[in-house]
Chains A and B, each alone.
Chain A
Amino acid sequence: MGRILGIDLGTTQSLIATMNDGAPGVIKDPDTGRGLLPSVVAIAPDGEVEVGARAIELEPHLTVEKDGRVSAIGFAGGEFGAVIRSVKRYMGLGGDEVAPEDRVRYTFADLSGPVMRFRVGSRVFTPPQISAEILRALKARAERALGEKVERVVITVPAYFNDGQRQATKDAGRLAGLEVVRLVNEPTAASLAYGLGKMAEGIVAVYDFGGGTFDISILSIKEGIFEVLATNGDTHLGGDDIDRAVADWLLAELPESVKTDRHVWNSARIVAEDAKQRLSDIAETEVVIELPGHTIRKSLSRAALEKFAEPLITRTIKRSEMALSDAKLKPAAIDAVVLVGGSTRMPYVRDQVRALFGRPPLCSIDPEEVVALGAAVQAGVLMGTQGDLLLLDVVPLSLGIETMGGVMERLIHRNTTIPTSIAENFTTAVDNQTHVDIHVLQGERELAKDCRSLARFKLGPIEPQPAGLPRIEVTFLIDANGILSVTARDERTGREHSIDVKPSYGLTDDEIERMLEEAIDLGDQDLEQRLLITARNDAEQILGALHKQLGEWASLLEGGERERIEEGVERLERARNEADRELIATLVEELNELTTPFAERIMDRAIKDALEKKSVDDLS
């Protein structure tokens, strides 16, 4: 079996890693030597895509015009497209699920469908398509660094990702031409990186506070088995939210209309993030943001930053306590605490975690690399090269069905070890009923309307029988990726029942197929475009040269030659404005052949002239 790589597809940064001689290592960009790829994707109106640092360069930034107007400069040459950051916050969401604070950042196609979509010029993109660009960039990097094809990967996801968010991540892999062999929860992956032969057996808490998500996982490590006891988290709580609070404060004195301008806001957010990072090392910093005719200059101390962070960190501590309670453990029972994610670089975060668990947290492995390294270890397990390790993860959210009165009946409780399955019997409520509708839900609330709808299933057709007589056994299976599948069987006949699945959110298989086809079409179109430009350039070159030569060396032309050449020039001039690159290439070729004797004569004459000049020079 070929190599499997590990990918950390992060909110703000992404990495790809692999096992080398039994140790995981991050694959660095062969050109820049950088391991972290900013999870930023720039899309031009014509569909051209840039990822990472190059995308950041294309990010619209504010400039002040001479007349005092503010304008945003983005893609050169006029109307710019979109530069999308933190696409992970939108993964697997229906339009109506996009958080209010995430609604102002970009232009959306419509926010009513089962999948939210970004609008860029006249085109629309789903979050998996944007994420696929990040995955493609990582794939290309690894292929260049390793000199081999990369086709199979492990991708990490926040432990608290629901079924839809996991499915969207798998879809992104598929769109990037990758087989996603396994989704692994980020905190669990981190524990693997730490546990690889180093960590003694015991109970470990992984506190994972990244750019956009927070996870806490409590694991028991014993006999090489990493068993998650409980997990909790918030998929919309991260360092991004601290930046947002600081940006709000920065712009506080500005009128609402300016504050909500997308470019003003984005600039403030970037400046805020920068200040936050500086304050991990120094106690006070100056924050400057240039606006039309107005410069905001404020001083931010570490203490003030901590005030902004406090309510958010308090939420992470609450979540951690809930995980401990689910694991039926007191903080004192934890043998080691591991820090993961860039946001744990904040001293304040470290202090709070230490206060909760009563022990200094471990951060000996770079918190920004540890998840990718763990993903590589899990890839090793799947390749069969890490036979002494096994991961037993859990489902983060309860799974159930809607019953009479809109109540959520739990079938699989949160923190159940996966893979897991449960069989449930269904029957009909009225005579001769031919279909049974099942509404599958995920969440911890009592009422169906407060849980997240996963899918609706239609069981049947069922043979007409008196009510209550049919017995259909439905099996809900959650695989090792935390993704649900459903099968149904008629208890009497033993026959498999067909199930008509309507996912409530996310992309259907057909939609993904279509996106894949579109990507291939676009790929061809891009190539065609490049070839056309090349052909036109060739035409320009020969036309320019001939124009000059026909003027300078007219005396070298033979009878009728000028007419023949001018006819060829005219045909090529007409063709170069058309999009038929093959015609352009043919005419260039023909003109080349036709003018070869003329060109040779010119060459001869030029050499002779040069020699004559030389001899004249010698004489003088």
Chain B
Amino acid sequence: MIECPSCGRRQTPRLSCEQCNAPLGAELDCFAALGLPQKLTIDLLALERLYHALGYRVHPDRFAAANAKARDASLRATALLTRSYRTLKDPVARGLYWLERKGQKLAENNKQVPPDLAELVFDVQEQLAELTVDRSDELEATVTARRAEVEHALSDAQQNLAHNFASWDGGRGDEQRLVADLKNILSRIAYLRTLLRDVERALENTNAA
């Protein structure tokens, strides 16, 4: 139970008081901070609307004249709100956060390129290296085509992520398998994002030169 620093009402921890809406300054997980159920599938537009509405409610700008306790609660509630929104807004950050809450980490598994991606990553890196010396239109066209390939793979991985999220939400499947899947997908996305960024940079440099 936590006491509201503005009206004194005792209640279970939440972002803002059930009675007077003032921020409580409680420590909450990202879902609870936004008043969301513990589900991985999130409608981004609704999330943004929620973020804005709660921002109006708890932001320090609304408590400039309040007592020190209420101001402090407002500061902590807003820091929690912005952090939670940032985490949940990006599906990858959301997935990583979920793994973390399951006591899992991506780091150890992430050192190796996912096997089925190895060929693509290797080929593209080689062509990018070539592109720094050979700026022929032909090579540029090849790399541009490669970009589409990477984008496609990324979009596939993102769809897989959405499926994985739905499985968690539906309580389908064995948790150990879901964790392994999630790790696999997140590591793929991390690789593909880096690769895509490298390709875009290389193409931009070629265009600028």
Contact = CB atoms under 8 A, between A and B. Distances in A.
Nearest to A222: B52
B83 A390 contact: no
Interface residues on A, range: 20 to 34
A477 B82 CA distance: 12
A619 interface: no
Given A223-B49, A417-B82, A419-B78, A479 B61 contact: no
A479 B75 contact: yes
Task: Indicate the member of B61, B83, B86 with the most A CB atoms within 10 Å.
Answer: B61
Contacts of B83: 420-422
Which bracket fits the contact residues of B?
A: 20 to 34
Contacts of A384: 62, 64-65
A1 B61 contact: no
B56 A480 contact: no
Interface string B77-114: 01110110110000000000000000000000000000
Contact of B82 (A1, A222, A224, A392): A392
B55 A390 contact: yes
A479 B60 contact: yes
A141 interface: no
Given A223-B49, A416-B86, A417-B86, A390 B79 contact: no
Interface in B172-186: none
B61 A480 contact: yes
B61 A421 contact: no
A181 B82 contact: no
Contacts of B64: 1, 4, 181-182, 382-384
Contacts of B65: 1, 383-384
Contacts of A378: 61
A419 B55 contact: no
Contacts of A223: 49, 52
A381 B76 contact: no
B79 A391 contact: no
A300 interface: no
Counting chain A CB atoms within 10 Å of each CB, the highest count among B75, B76, B85 belongs to B75
B147 interface: no
A182 B63 CA distance: 12
Given A381-B61, A384-B65, A480-B61, A419 B56 contact: no
A422 B85 CA distance: 14
B75 to A, nearest CB: 5
B156 to A, nearest CB: 21
Interface string A1-39: 100100000000000000000000000000000000000
Contact of A418 (B49, B52, B82): B82
A98 interface: no
Given A182-B64, A381-B61, A390 B56 contact: yes
B82 A420 contact: yes
Given A416-B86, A419-B60, A480-B60, A225 B78 contact: no
A166 B101 CA distance: 36
Given A1-B65, A384-B65, A421-B76, A390 B86 contact: no
B14 interface: no
B79 A420 contact: yes
Nearest to B79: A421
Nearest to A1: B65
B59 interface: yes
Interface string B27-54: 0000000000000000000001100100
Contact of A477 (B56, B59, B61, B75): B75
The listed residue with most A CB atoms (<10 A of its CB), out of B64, B65, B86, is B64
A419 B52 contact: no
A1 B67 CA distance: 13
Nearest to B65: A1
A391 B79 CA distance: 14
B79 A382 contact: no
Contacts of B76: 421, 477
Contacts of A4: 64
A222 B49 CA distance: 10
Central interface residue in A181, A383, A390, A416, by most chain B CB within 10 Å: A390
Contacts of A383: 64-65
Contacts of A480: 59-61, 75, 78
Contacts of B52: 222-223, 225, 390
Nearest to B49: A223
Nearest to B62: A384
A382 B61 contact: yes
A345 to B, nearest CB: 31
A416 B48 CA distance: 16
Contacts of B78: 419, 480
A573 B75 CA distance: 66
Contacts of A381: 61
Contact of A390 (B59, B75, B82, B85): B59
A479 B77 CA distance: 12
Interface in A394-432: 416-422
B50 to A, nearest CB: 11
Contacts of A391: 61
B49 A419 contact: no
A477 B25 CA distance: 13
A390 B60 contact: no
A384 B56 CA distance: 12
Nearest to B56: A390
B165 to A, nearest CB: 22
Contacts of B48: 222
Contacts of A1: 64-65
Contacts of B85: 417
Contacts of A181: 64
Contacts of A420: 79, 82-83
B82 A419 contact: yes
Contacts of B61: 182, 378, 381-382, 390-391, 480
Contact of A225 (B55, B79, B86): B55
A445 B64 CA distance: 35
A73 to B, nearest CB: 48
A381 B60 CA distance: 11
Interface string A366-382: 00000000000010011
Q: Which of A224, A383, A392 has the most CB of B within 10 A?
A: A392
Nearest to A480: B60
A593 B156 CA distance: 104
A381 B61 CA distance: 7
Interface string A206-248: 0000000000000000111100000000000000000000000
A353 to B, nearest CB: 20
Interface centre among B49, B65, B86 (most CB of A within 10 A): B65
A384 B49 CA distance: 22
User: Closest 3 A-B residue pairs measured CB to CB?
Assistant: A421-B79, A382-B64, A417-B82
Given A382-B64, A418-B82, A480-B75, 4 more contacts: A381-B61, A390-B59, A419-B79, A421-B83
23 contacts: A182-B61, A182-B64, A223-B52, A224-B56, A225-B55, A381-B61, A383-B64, A383-B65, A390-B52, A390-B56, A390-B59, A392-B55, A392-B59, A392-B82, A418-B82, A419-B60, A419-B75, A421-B80, A421-B83, A422-B83, A480-B59, A480-B75, A480-B78
